[in-house]
Amino acid sequence: MSELDNILAERGETHGYFKSVAKTSQELKQVMRSTPNWDRLSADQKESLEMNASKVARILNGNYMWHDSWFDLAGYATLVANTLEKPHD
């Protein structure tokens, strides 16, 4: 097994296996894109929500106790919240 294969296997255990995570993530993103406010959101708001969909997919398919996944959810939401408090370019 190559080093890359080892890393991918390790990540699969932590984050879930790519095909399952991708399916869940894409389904979540499709739901988000079908909502009334999606087209009103700024690029950073959309990106934050899409990144969170990816993180949620990892939680649902991988190790739901992995701290970093939960911490990342808070991080992406905080980035948007900060721009709403202090808008800039």
Please tell me the distance from the alpha carbon of residue 16 to that of residue 64, in angstroms, as a whole number: 10
Tokens of residue 67, six digits: 């701290």
User: What's the pLDDT band for 11 if we cut at 50, 70, 90?
Assistant: confident
> If you compute the radius of gyration of the chain from its CA atoms, what whole number of angstroms results?
15
Q: Tell me, what's the pLDDT at 80?
A: 95
20-29 tens-digit pLDDT: 999 999 999 9
Is pLDDT at 58 greater than 90 in this prediction?
yes
Q: What is the pTM of this model?
A: 0.86
Domain layout of the chain by residue ranges: 3-85
